Amino acid sequence: MAVPKRRSSNSRTNKRRAHDAKKAKQLSYCPKCSTAVPQHVVCPNCGYYMGRTMVEMEETA
């Protein structure tokens, strides 16, 4: 079995983990209602996606 010959230093470990931080969600704005929506997701406000209405939303008054 492969076993490390020496202990990896904290510095080396932290350098390796430099890219593991969480990234912010990529949001785009709905062209119809201007709500911030994650990419590739139907707009929860108006049901619009990829240039057409996917889900008919009820009007709440």
Residue 61's pLDDT is what? 56
Residue 51's pLDDT is what? 83
Q: How many CB atoms lie within 10 A of CB 13?
A: 10
Structure token pair of residue 41: 């997701």
CA neighbor of 27 nearest in space, from 39, 10, 43: 39
Structure token pair of residue 51: 């240039």
pLDDT per residue as tens, the chain (61 positions): 899 999 999 999 999 999 999 988 899 999 889 899 999 999 988 888 888 888 887 766 5
Q: What pTM did the predictor assign?
A: 0.54
Rg (CA), the chain: 23
